[in-house]
Structure 1
Amino acid sequence: MNHSTEHPLHETLLHDALHAHVRESGGAAGAGLAGLADEALRVARRRQRLARAGVGLVAAALVTTAWVAAADSAPPRAHVVQPATGDGTGKATPISLLPVTSSVEHACPEGSGGYTEPATATQPASCVHADRARGMTDVRVASAKAEKSTADGTWQVEVTLGPADRTRFAALTGSLAEAPLPRNEFAIIIDGELWGTPYVASAITGGRFEIVGAHVGDLTGATAHDLALRLDPGR
């Protein structure tokens, strides 16, 4: 018997021939033959449906097996853990840019309101105080990206301010440019921590500056990318 998915032509022709014979001859015997023909056709059609379903199941199984094989044969991918962004709500972490008012060589006493610049192998810790009233507080930057410095190969985060903050930043840095050290510096504060105190030689009108850490070379590739994502989760 043909088990293909085509119509069961043999059973259909037999069924039609028997019914034609019944119509011509009549009688109980003819009716019985017609009943047998109907049952044979039902069986053939059931077999056809099962065959089609079987083909579908085999095809689905083949597709699934092929997909799993492709996945298994793919080269292993490194497990990448993305650092947390912003404040956990998908919003960018704000940054404050504050004029430095003083810097003394010791860690800040608790409750002094200053920001401690940690010690290095060549210099002691410093306590930096800044003026929040004159500074720019809780600024959300337009963009931030981690990159290596072309000058010395150290990691940094390049920050770009939006148009309104760019104007304010130009005015702030312009007012610091003529002051003596350390009052020609501005403190970069993120989440209450000091991330640098760059000095200003003239007004910064492009709205762009770099974060290198409290000291040049503090940032690694991982910490630079982490900081960039915190400041600019939309990247």
Structure 2
Amino acid sequence: MNHSTEHPLRETSLHDALHTHVLEGDIDATGPWLVGLADDALRVARRRQRLARAGAAAFVAVVAAGAVALGTPQHAHVVQPATGGTGNTGKVALLSILPVTSSTEAACTHGSGGYTVPASATHPALCVHADRARGMTDVRVASAKAGKSTITGTWQVEVTLGSTDRTRFAALTGSIAGAPAPRNGFAIVIDGKLWGNPSVASSLTGGRLEIVGAFLGDLTSATAHDLALRLDTGS
């Protein structure tokens, strides 16, 4: 590193020249002050040199540690529902879109196969049952993007499906659109957790859906961005 050696040499030369000039010349009372200033400058330059060398060593250590980290297997984390926090940063592999068969205001009983939405200050607990046999399971999305709704101002994740799943999604939403509530809705299930159950009035042919949480406003900036990152497979 040139900068770590050139600066102290230059400062040393200036320091010695100033000392000689003060001692041999006719310098007024500012002479000692100038000498002290030169001494301080030299000390600073040498300290910078030591820090630069230490920094280079630290950089090598960081690179070595990074090489070890890159070789370490990364373990995916199970996602938590939107009402439960900021989520995790591992990739989501299991996204399901399932037609809702029932929804009741109570937590699901053990072994019922439903999806419980915990109670909050503004909403009661819900138990949502869905039909996996008629639904879309293990869906890998083409893209996912977090952002705020232009209508409600709440955080959401906009998901775009691939061409094959787009056709399946249009057929699924078309088959439930005319049913009475809650059977005109579908459950968005990610890693076994319910992240939304919107209702539809007609077939959704655009291949896009918006995840807002079990209830509107559940998602925060952190949960939305985490979820989008893990859903966006880029396929």
List gaps (5 residues or longer) in structure 2. Answer: 8-47, 56-87
Report if aligned partners of 2:142, 2:233 keep a CA contact under 8 Å in 1. no
Report if aligned partners of 2:4, 2:52 keep a CA contact under 8 Å in 1. no
SS in 1 for 2:172: helix
Give the one of 61, 74, 82 matched to 2:5: 61
Q: Give the AA of the match of 1:170.
A: A
Q: Give the AA of the match of 2:89.
A: A
Q: Flag as ranges the 4+ runs of structure 1 deviating above 3 A.
A: 57-65
Q: Which has the larger radius of gyration?
A: 1
CA distance 1:193–1:59, shift in 2 (3 Å): closer
**1:115 matched residue in structure 2:** 115
List gaps (5 residues or longer) in structure 1. Answer: 1-56, 72-82, 87-91
User: Partners of 2:229 and 2:216 in 1: how far apart?
Assistant: 20
Shift of 1:222: 0.5
Q: How many residues align?
A: 164
TM-score normalized by the length of structure 1: 0.63
Report the RMSD for the aligned CA atoms in angstroms.
2.9
The reply to whether residue 200 of structure 1 matches residue 205 of structure 2 is no
User: Partners of 1:59 and 1:181 in 2: how far apart?
Assistant: 72
> What does the per-residue CA deviation read over 1:91-138, in whole Å, with 9 as the maximum and x for residues that have no partner?
x42210000001111000111100012223233111110000000001
**1:180 matched residue in structure 2:** 180
User: Partners of 2:130 and 2:98 in 1: how far apart?
Assistant: 6
Report if aligned partners of 2:142, 2:234 keep a CA contact under 8 Å in 1. no
User: Partners of 2:184 and 2:95 in 1: how far apart?
Assistant: 19
CA distance 1:153–1:59, shift in 2 (3 Å): closer
Shift of 1:68: 5.0
Alignment of 1:127-206 (within 5 A): 127-206=127-206
User: Partners of 2:218 and 2:146 in 1: how far apart?
Assistant: 13
CA distance 1:170–1:62, shift in 2 (3 Å): farther
Fraction of identical pairs, as percent: 68
User: Partners of 1:113 and 1:178 in 2: how far apart?
Assistant: 25
TM-score normalized by the length of structure 2: 0.63
Report if aligned partners of 1:143, 1:160 keep a CA contact under 8 Å in 2. yes
SS in 1 for 2:170: helix
CA distance 1:58–1:220, shift in 2 (3 Å): closer
SS in 2 for 1:129: strand
User: Partners of 1:229 and 1:97 in 2: how far apart?
Assistant: 19
Shift of 1:85: 2.5
**2:215 matched residue in structure 1:** 215
Report if aligned partners of 2:144, 2:159 keep a CA contact under 8 Å in 1. yes
Q: Give the AA of the match of 1:116.
A: T
Q: Give the AA of the match of 2:115.
A: Y
CA distance 1:227–1:134, shift in 2 (3 Å): same
Shift of 1:153: 1.1
SS in 2 for 1:195: strand
